[in-house]
């Protein structure tokens, strides 16, 4: 069975979309006829629309969202993927690194949801996707800050989902598994990389695109759910006829 998504006329904001999964999704949204707007501190290599935003800066997020709404009049989807992933043992972690991780990974999601979701509520339509991680459940040596932020995001997203469900706005969570991105390679040295390769496997950013498009689409009649990747997401979507 082949699935084709149509995003014609729709606008999707992707935080952290300059690289990795976010970049693959931005390309896919564009291929499906939609407009992808990337919020990031790094400029994307591809030609998708880009706004320089540090999601930890609430004022910057609010300004960027207001700009998108003024130009397009709508935001149909929000994918909150911006994150940092330091590797430092707890007893060695500098307070500034801990704080920065929570500011980007957790606060950044809160700020962008506060800016976008009221618009979705007023339109009675919209889908939000938040990223968690298997580390939120298992923990991982040297990744306490990252794992803690991702665990908190599950509770946040489920709470938000319960608050806006009556307005036909959906909020779901995905744990994409281990994906070969710039961030993954930076956080995982050779031994860690081999560990992931020999256990759950390492996927490609494109492996996650199909499930994300599904969650953004009206086919996903679900909210407050967590979609996980056991070994590898199937490539669920074809972008051409």
Beta strands in the chain (DSSP E): 11-15, 35-40, 49-52, 77-80, 126-131, 169-175, 226-228
d(CA 151, CA 182): 22
Q: Which two tokens stand for residue 66?
A: 């207001």
Does 50 qualify as catalytic in the annotation?
no
Residues 6+ apart with CB under 8 A from 212: 21, 25, 28, 79, 129, 174
Strands in 126-131's sheet, in edge-to-edge order, are 49-52, 35-40, 11-15, 77-80, 126-131, 169-175, 226-228
Catalytic annotation, pick one of 50, 72, 140, 146? 146
Output the DSSP codes for 11-24: EEEEETTTSHHHHH
d(CA 182, CA 21): 10
Active site residue ranges: 146
């Amino acid at each position: 069975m082949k699935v084709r998504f149509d995003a014609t006329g729709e606008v999707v904001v992707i935080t952290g979309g300059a690289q990795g999964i976010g970049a693959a999704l931005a390309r896919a949204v564009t291929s499906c006829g939609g407009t992808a707007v990337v919020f990031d501190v790094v400029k994307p290599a591809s030609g998708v629309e880009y706004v320089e935003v540090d999601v930890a800066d609430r004022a910057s997020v609010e300004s960027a969202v207001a700009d998108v709404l003024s130009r397009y009049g709508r935001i149909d989807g929000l994918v909150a993927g911006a994150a940092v992933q330091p590797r430092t043992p707890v007893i060695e972690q500098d307070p500034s690194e801990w704080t920065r991780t929570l500011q980007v990974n957790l606060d950044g999601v809160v700020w962008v949801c506060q800016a976008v979701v009221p618009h979705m509520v007023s339109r009675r339509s919209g889908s939000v996707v938040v990223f968690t991680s298997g580390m939120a459940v298992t923990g991982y040596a040297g990744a306490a800050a990252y794992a803690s932020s991702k665990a908190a995001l599950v509770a946040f997203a489920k709470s938000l989902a319960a608050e806006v469900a009556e307005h036909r706005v959906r909020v779901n969570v995905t744990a994409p598994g281990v994906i070969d991105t710039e961030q993954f390679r930076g956080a995982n040295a050779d031994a860690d990389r081999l560990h992931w390769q020999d256990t759950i496997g390492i996927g490609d950013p494109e492996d996650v695109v199909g499930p994300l498009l599904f969650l953004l689409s009206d086919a996903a009649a679900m909210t407050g759910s967590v979609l996980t990747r056991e070994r590898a997401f199937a490539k669920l979507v074809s972008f051409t006829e």
